[in-house]
Amino acid sequence: MKRRLLADSILWFVLIVGTVMFVFPLWWMTVVSLETPQRAEAAITGSAGIALYPPNPQVANYAQAIRETGSTPWMGFVDALSNSIVITVVVVLATVLSSSLVGYALARLRFRGSRAMFLVMLATMMLPGQVTMIPLFLLFREFGWIDTILPLVVPAFFGNAFFIFMYRQFIAQIPESLVEAARIDGLGHLAIWWRIILPLCRPVTAICAVFTFIGTWNDFLAPLIYLHSDEQATLAVALNGFKNQYGGLEDVHLLMALSVLTMIPCIVLFIAAQKAFVEGLASGAVKG
């Protein structure tokens, strides 16, 4: 009992220390965003130490940061927020649907060349994004898609190799008797995928949705390459423009406020999908 109690105590200590290490930067950023310009500058330079809470919270910093985002007061932030929401939602839905459909086909349909096709798809994961960046830009420029959201959302309808792999491995563990019973009832492959397979893949879908949402919401390079006008900019691009315009220490509290606003949707999504997300990790979704 003593040995078990000691092991549990060490485990809890490590977990608490790790949690504090991960949460403290976010908490400190929030504190700086609520400070006055003088106290925020002192906190960044280290002359005033690290404050655990703002003695006089300046909530107006958030309104000022929103107002000064972009070239148009207020509307610059609204445009960037709406663009990010539209792009992220479309990409998440397209990635989940296309990846699960391809994963179902690779797991349940037997056809010549399916294994080779699966291996080729996995091989694409070894290509860094920098290799295909220029060819894709030239291709989308020929299509006339530059300065539109199409280069950011259309590729999502063709699936993601990593998530296709996850769906395939998870669907392969589903008993074949369920699929056979659906076929006896007269369902086709699309109906089986939509009505039976996809609901059973909820843990994998949660992982796919959370990872895709965070990756798309925080993506900076792709919007910077394809979206050239302020009206089409996403929050990540708008945040970078805000940093270039108000990057001095005297405006660091505004930069922190806008950064906190940018992070809120990711935090809310993870909290909402935490149960299904952890269930997907615990169920061995990537096991063969």
pLDDT digits (tens, 9 = 90+) for 130-163: 888 999 999 999 999 999 999 999 999 999 999 9
Which stretches of the chain are DSSP H helices? 2-33, 37-45, 60-67, 75-108, 114-123, 129-143, 150-153, 161-171, 176-184, 189-192, 198-200, 202-217, 221-226, 235-245, 252-272, 274-282
Where residue 126 sits, what CATH number does that domain have? 1.10.3720.10
Query: Hey, CA dihedral for 120, 92, 283, 111, is it positive or negative?
Result: negative
Token code pair at residue 21: 């290490």
Distance CA 241, CA 216 (A): 18
Rounded distance, CA 66 to CA 286, Å?
41
Taking the C-alpha atoms of residue 89 and residue 95, their distance in angstroms, rounded to an integer, is 10
Q: What pLDDT, on the 0 to 100 scale, is given for residue 279? A: 66
Phi, psi of 111 (to 5 degrees): -150, 160
Q: What is the chain's alpha carbon radius of gyration, rounded to the nearest angstrom?
A: 23
Please check whether residue 106 lies inside any domain of the structure: yes
Task: Say how many CA atoms lie within 13 Å of 141 toward its Cβ.
Answer: 9
Q: Mind listing the pLDDT tens digit of every residue in the chain (288 residues)? A: 778 888 889 999 999 999 999 888 899 899 999 998 888 888 887 776 667 788 889 999 999 999 988 878 889 899 999 999 999 999 999 999 999 999 999 998 888 888 899 999 989 888 888 888 999 999 999 999 999 999 999 999 999 999 999 999 999 988 888 888 989 888 999 999 999 999 999 888 988 998 999 999 999 999 999 998 888 999 999 998 888 887 677 788 899 999 999 999 988 887 887 776 666 655 544 444
Q: 47 lies in a domain? A: no
Q: What is the 8-class DSSP label of residue 151?
A: H
Lookup: tokens for 181? 């019973």
Alpha carbon distance 88, 269 (integer Å): 12
Across 77-113, b (16+ Cβ under 10 Å) vs e yields bebbbebbeebbebbbebbbbbbbbbbbbbbbeeeee
Dist. CA 79–CA 235, nearest whole Å: 9
Backbone φ and ψ for 175, nearest 5 degrees, come out as: -55, 135
Q: Does any domain span residue 27?
A: no
Please give the model's pTM, rounded to 2 decimal places. Answer: 0.87
pLDDT score of 44:
81
Q: What's the domain count of the chain? A: 1
Separation of alpha carbons 232 and 59, rounded Å: 28
In a domain, 155, yes or no: yes
Q: Is the residue at 277 inside a domain?
A: yes
Domain coverage including residue 241: 59-282
In a domain, 21, yes or no: no
Q: Is residue 192 part of a domain?
A: yes
Structural domain contains residue 15: no
Report d(CA 276, CA 149) in Å as an integer: 30
Measured at the CA of 96, the angle between CA 283 and CA 216, to 5 degrees, comes to 105
